[in-house]
Structure 1
Amino acid sequence: MIFKVLYQELAQEVPVRERTQAMYVEAEKEREVRKKLAAKNINIEFIQVLDEDHLAYEKQSEDFQLENV
């Protein structure tokens, strides 16, 4: 499955919508995504599993890039 992770670069700061970034991670479960990203020291706001239609929509974006973690 592909997960969309919304996060803040700085783990110690309060989330600010304008600085929220997204990355896409392949994993079996949300717990696995969190485990893979633990070393990055980021503030994860939300993890969303993408169904086929949503994934197709996200792939149209020039910013879509599947992370290797």
Structure 2
Amino acid sequence: MIFKVLYQDSLNEVPIRENTRTMYVEAEDERVIRKKLSERNINIEFIQPLEGAHLDYEKQSENFEVEKL
């Protein structure tokens, strides 16, 4: 399944909407994503599963690149 991960680059800073970054990840579930990304020292704000029309919409983005964990 493909997930959209919203995150901040630093664990030590207060999250600011303008600094929120996006990553698309293919993984079994949210727990696997959190475990694998914990090594990157990023502040995960939200993980959203993408399916159907929502996934099709996200694929149209020029920044859409899926990372496999």
1:23-42 superposed matches below 5 A: 23-42=23-42
Distance 1:55 1:7 in 2: 19
User: Does the CA contact (< 8 Å) of 2:27 and 2:68 recur in 1?
Assistant: no
Aligned to 1:43: 43
Distance 1:36 1:25 in 2: 11
Secondary structure class of the residue paired with 2:32: helix
> What is the Cα deviation at residue 19 of structure 1?
0.4
Give the alignment's TM-score, normalised by structure 1: 0.94
Q: How much is the aligned-residue C-alpha RMSD, in angstroms?
A: 0.9
Deviations 1:24-67 (A, max 9, x none): 11111100110111110000000000112111100100011112
Secondary structure class of the residue paired with 2:61: coil
> What is the Cα deviation at residue 68 of structure 1?
3.6
Give the alignment's TM-score, normalised by structure 2: 0.94
> What is the Cα deviation at residue 17 of structure 1?
0.2
Aligned to 1:15: 15
Q: State the identity %.
A: 65
Aligned to 1:2: 2
Structure 2 portions without partners, runs of 5+ = none
Structure 1 runs of 4+ aligned residues shifted over 4 Å read none
